[in-house]
Amino acid sequence: MDISKNHYDIEMLAKGLTPKRLERMRQVLAHRTRYLSIVLEDIYQPHNASAVLRTCDAYGVQDIHVIQKNNVFTPNPEISLGSAKWLDVHKYANTPTEQVYSTLRQQNYKIVAAALREDATTPDMLDVSSGPIALIFGSELNGLTEQALTQADETICIPMLGFVKSFNISVSVAIILSQLMPKIRALGDAWHLSNREADEILLEWLHSDVLHAPKGAG
C-alpha cells in the first residue's frame, strides 16, 4: 500500500471527524501491538468469543486469528461493545490448524498453546523477549485439539489452586494478557507497530468511522 496515498487519504477522511475524535484514535493506536496476537481454535460460545475481542481491544492486541472448523465465529455486539470494529479479525474457514501455524511462523511468531499440562510454563515465567508470540486458546468444551497442542512451540497455563481446573476462555485470555502485556511493553520499541502498519490501521478506522466511507475515498 502506497504510504503517500495513505497519508493523503487519512488527511481527507480526518476532515469528517472532530479533532478530539481523531486524537482519541491516535492515542489508542499508539498503544496497539502485533508483537502478541491471539488465536482461537473452534470457539463455540459466541458470548465468550465476543468477550475475548473486548479484552484484546482493552490490552492493545490488534490481531485475532480465528480457526473455524465446526463453529462459525460470530461476535455478539452487545458483549464485544463494538470492539471488532477496531481489531483485525482473521478467519480461517475449514483450515487445518497446522496451516495456520505455518502462516503465523512465516510472520516470525512463536506458537504458545494455553493448556493444563505439567510441562506448561506460567505467564509470569514465559519469555517474551525472544520474539512475537501467538497465544492459542481452544474451545470451552474440549480445549485445544491434540494437533494444536503437539505442534505448538510451548505451552502456558494459569496456576489453579482450587477444585476447578479451568477458567472460561475470556477470563483466561484476560488473566494471561494482564501478566504478559506489561512485560512486552517493557521491551522498548519491539512491541510498537511500524509507521506503515499504524497508517494502514488508522485508515481502516477512518473508513469505518466516517460515514462508512468507501475505501476509494480521497
Q: For residue 81, what is the domain's CATH number?
A: 3.40.1280.10
Q: Is residue 22 part of a domain?
A: no
Containing domain of residue 209, as a range?
192-218
Q: Looking at the structure, do residues 122 and 40 belong to the same domain, yes or no? A: yes
CA–CA distances in Å: residue 69 to residues 8, 136, 145: 40, 15, 11
Per residue of the chain (218 residues), give pLDDT as tens.
Answer: 555 667 768 788 877 788 899 999 999 999 999 999 999 998 877 778 888 999 999 999 999 999 988 777 776 565 555 788 899 999 999 899 999 999 999 999 999 999 988 889 999 999 999 999 999 999 877 889 999 999 999 999 999 888 887 788 899 999 999 999 999 999 999 999 999 999 999 999 998 876 554 444 43
Q: Looking at the structure, do residues 50 and 142 belong to the same domain, yes or no? A: yes
Is 10 annotated in a binding site? The answer is no
Q: Looking at the structure, do residues 178 and 217 belong to the same domain, yes or no? A: no
Q: Looking at the structure, do residues 67 and 111 belong to the same domain, yes or no? A: yes
Q: Looking at the structure, do residues 64 and 101 belong to the same domain, yes or no? A: yes
Closest CA to 91 of 27, 41, 129: 41
Q: Looking at the structure, do residues 56 and 143 belong to the same domain, yes or no? A: yes
Rounded Cα distance between 205 and 203, Å, is 5
Residue type for 139, please? S
Contact 151, 115 (CB under 8 A): no
Q: Looking at the structure, do residues 103 and 197 belong to the same domain, yes or no? A: no
Grid cell for residue 89: 479479525
Q: Looking at the structure, do residues 183 and 196 belong to the same domain, yes or no? A: no
Q: Looking at the structure, do residues 215 and 140 belong to the same domain, yes or no? A: no
The total of other beta-carbon atoms located within 10 Å of residue 166's CB is 15
